[in-house]
Structure 1
Amino acid sequence: MDSDSPDPQTLTSDLETLTLSGADPPTDPFTSLNDLAHELASLHELAYRGSWRSVLDKVGRARALSLLQKPHDHLTYLSFNALALLKLRRFADAAAELDSLVDLDGSHYLYESYPNVYPNRTGSMVPFSLRWFRAVVPIKLGRRQDGLDRLYSLLDFVRNKVIEKESEKNFGVSARVWRKREFLVTNSIIGVHLSSKEFSVCLNLIKVLLNRGFLDPILLSKLGYILMQIGDIESAKSSFNRVEKLMEDEEEKRNRDWELSEVQFKNLINRNKALVYLVGKDYVSAVREYEECIERDQSDVVAINNKAICLMYLRDLSDSIKVLENSLERVPTVALNETLVVNLCSMYELAYVNHSDVKRTLNNWIARVAPDDFDSSCTRI
């Protein structure tokens, strides 16, 4: 069963991570994305659709035809190229692309080094995503310690920016952006440690965030999940209760830093309750919580997947399969999740003698509708 602890990279979308400015959000007036970089709107559209091969083609064409005229255009396109390579699991190629960059803090990446191109602009033009990608690529290549070292260095860099921006008189958008990045990087580090069951390190990192004022429902939920992993059920329940209190606290909701909608927030609360029931092997109650989530949001993949597995634990394999199949029919672009497909194929193997034929039909359908980065090997044909 999937844990309900969100993967760090889901906390902030890939495209949002591709904030164009390095030091601060852009303040120049603009009417469209294309005002920020060459044909940026088209790149965004391709990326949102998961058309990562088309992203690579577009970047390659722009480079070959010398369409990128400004220094920051090159960096923006390199960011999208690296993201596409990562999505397509071409990690070595992504590393090579990122290694072409020299000293991200050098003067050659400062706006003020090109006064004729960027009059009255100062600061770094390096997209934050490039710093982020350089930290996570080693982990993808199996160089865990190298990746952790880079992530911790990036965290120091981001925290210094937070301190710098919070000390300015006009505390505002820029400071909030850097705080959001601090949250993202810390969660990524937690994710790496969590994958190796280094729970004490994870708990310490979460406590640092909480002490720095990050009273976030996803963070508190992750804390509860980790506490459950180490067997501290009562403390986990206490953490989940704090999430519910955040929902009830009108002042906190007004001053919130998080970006969950009300539906997402309510579903998070239900999923937390379901986890407590799961620990107690009360699968019927867990199913009830997941059903509430699905009624609110038919694209809640975690609730869909976990409801199906609870039904399987209740020996209702037929309904379990229907839950997953129906979700794929209803919202394929959202429900087409590799973990969900792996679980569905496992259920096919349990339910059908001719499971290879059923999985092949599923695989053919996936080939027609899946984004470029979907790993079709998860059907195990």
Structure 2
Amino acid sequence: MGTADGGRAEKELDDEGKECEWVEKKNSMEISSLDQGKRVYNDPVDGFLRRANSREEAANLLSSLNPITPDVVTIDSIKYLASSLAWGAVLEASGSILHGDVQLDINTKLEVITFRIAAMMQTRQFDRAAEQVSAIREDMRKYFLEASDGLCENRENTYVPFELKALSVDILARKGSPKALEAFYELKDHIKIQHKACSERSDDAGVAVWRAREQLILSSLAAYHLRSQKIDAALDTVRELIRHNPDSAVYCFVLLRMLVLSGSFSAAREVLSKAAEYPNVTATEIHMHRGIVLAAEGSFDEALDEFEGAILLYSRNTAAANNAAICLLHLGRIDEAIEKLEDTIRADPIVALDEGLVFNLCTLYDLSQPDRAKAKKVVLRKLAARFGRQGFNMEAITI
């Protein structure tokens, strides 16, 4: 699918190119931050959603349900749409179920609400998501307690999805609520109790479930601390993740990126050396993170070699291409930087139309030839509207 989509994107770019050329030359520019390749935390929905191979399949599924009615839309349909990241379709389908005539049992209803709130979060409708959680408190008080996260575990044989609890806490955090930190620690303590109970009765499956939930909440808590500019608290949280997951290199790389953000480059190098010893670490991960450290230290030639090495291993590594472009800019090779990002979008627009990459490309356009930047951004907006994921933040393309 990437090849076909890339062809359509390239044709669209070429057509628009009659009035605005994509590749412009300039000597230097200020850069935005390096693309970390992975988020330094997991969204609360990352632990229970899986991405399907094709977003078009999700769109086709939604089309087959048109007009959507509660009779044909099922929770499985919503799960499929969510796994394909078709968040707009999730909102439409979940709304049709919740507001339809079919009576849902409370557990199914809570599951649908969970996906609906996740879709609102993924499409940056935080106020709307907060309103949905408030509505749950008002409409379903017999199933929920007035705790800081607004949710309880069990009432009248009702199962409240853990992800719904996690989402409610994350909403508080993103809304800047003073109750957010307390809510995080209440949920964290609850996880600790449940994990201990499973361990004492030798319930290995239960231990694994609560361990995964702990990772999710600690990751979200680390992100909250970062957004609050509490770097020391974020570092402590990630170190706790490493202690609880000694066999995983993932959190070592998260720690490395945080150390780079704090300017602790020598400590970041030490973490990189330790991470390289893990048996499941890939060459791509080493290239990416060594490049991040080198670039942060100002060694852009060497960093560029690392990012190009990652691209050789996987030609559509968007994060590596983005970072390589930033290195090229620092080396005064702005024409190559623009070409690098444009070629990445042409190759696979569905994957490459990431807000960070697009923002960097727009910045390049602004600095390379301001009088033509607007026309170029119009092209990007058209591509983002056509190929970007549902919930793509168009604010990344300011015109």
TM-score (norm 1): 0.80
User: What secondary structure does 2:49 align onto?
Assistant: helix
For residues 12 and 88 of structure 1, do their structure 2 counterparts lie closer, same or farther at Cα, with a shift above 3 Å needed? closer
Alignment of 1:221-370 (within 5 A): 221-247=253-279, 253=280, 265-352=282-369, 353-370=371-388
Aligned counterparts of 1:138 and 1:168: Cα–Cα separation in 2: 34
Deviation at 1:155, TM superposition (A): 1.4
1:90-134 deviation line (CA, Å, top 9, x unaligned) = 2222112112142233643625xxxxxxxxxxxxx2111110111
Counterpart amino acid of residue 135 in structure 1: V
Deviation at 1:224, TM superposition (A): 2.2
> 2:95 — aligned with what?
60
Counterpart amino acid of residue 374 in structure 1: F
> 2:203 — aligned with what?
170
Instruction: Tell me how large the CA RMSD over aligned residues is.
Output: 2.4
Deviation at 1:9, TM superposition (A): 2.1
For residues 358 and 148 of structure 1, do their structure 2 counterparts lie closer, same or farther at Cα, with a shift above 3 Å needed? same
Deviation at 1:7, TM superposition (A): 3.0
For residues 109 and 54 of structure 1, do their structure 2 counterparts lie closer, same or farther at Cα, with a shift above 3 Å needed? farther
Aligned counterparts of 1:58 and 1:11: Cα–Cα separation in 2: 21
The answer to whether the 8 A contact 1:7-1:191 is kept is yes
TM-score (norm 2): 0.77
The answer to whether the 8 A contact 1:68-1:74 is kept is no
The answer to whether the 8 A contact 1:134-1:150 is kept is no
Deviates more, 1:335-344 or 1:349-358: 349-358
Aligned counterparts of 1:105 and 1:284: Cα–Cα separation in 2: 54
Alignment of 1:9-28 (within 5 A): 9=42, 13=46, 15-16=48-49
Deviation at 1:195, TM superposition (A): 2.8
Deviation at 1:240, TM superposition (A): 0.8
Q: Percent identity?
A: 23
Aligned counterparts of 2:43 and 2:104: Cα–Cα separation in 1: 33
1:321-361 deviation line (CA, Å, top 9, x unaligned) = 11111111222222111111110100111222311111111
> 1:32 — aligned with what?
none
Check if 1:374 corresponds to 2:392.
yes
For residues 141 and 191 of structure 1, do their structure 2 counterparts lie closer, same or farther at Cα, with a shift above 3 Å needed? same
Alignment of 1:73-112 (within 5 A): 73-99=108-134, 100-101=136-137, 102-103=144-145, 104-105=151-152, 107-108=154-155, 110=157
User: What secondary structure does 2:390 align onto?
Assistant: coil
The answer to whether the 8 A contact 1:274-1:287 is kept is yes
Deviation at 1:41, TM superposition (A): 2.7
Aligned counterparts of 2:340 and 2:208: Cα–Cα separation in 1: 40
> 1:136 — aligned with what?
170
Deviation at 1:137, TM superposition (A): 0.7
For residues 170 and 158 of structure 1, do their structure 2 counterparts lie closer, same or farther at Cα, with a shift above 3 Å needed? closer
Gap regions ≥5 residues in structure 2: 1-32, 51-72, 138-143, 146-150
> 1:127 — aligned with what?
161
The answer to whether the 8 A contact 1:221-1:243 is kept is yes
- How many residues in Structure 1 have an aligned counterpart in Structure 2? 332
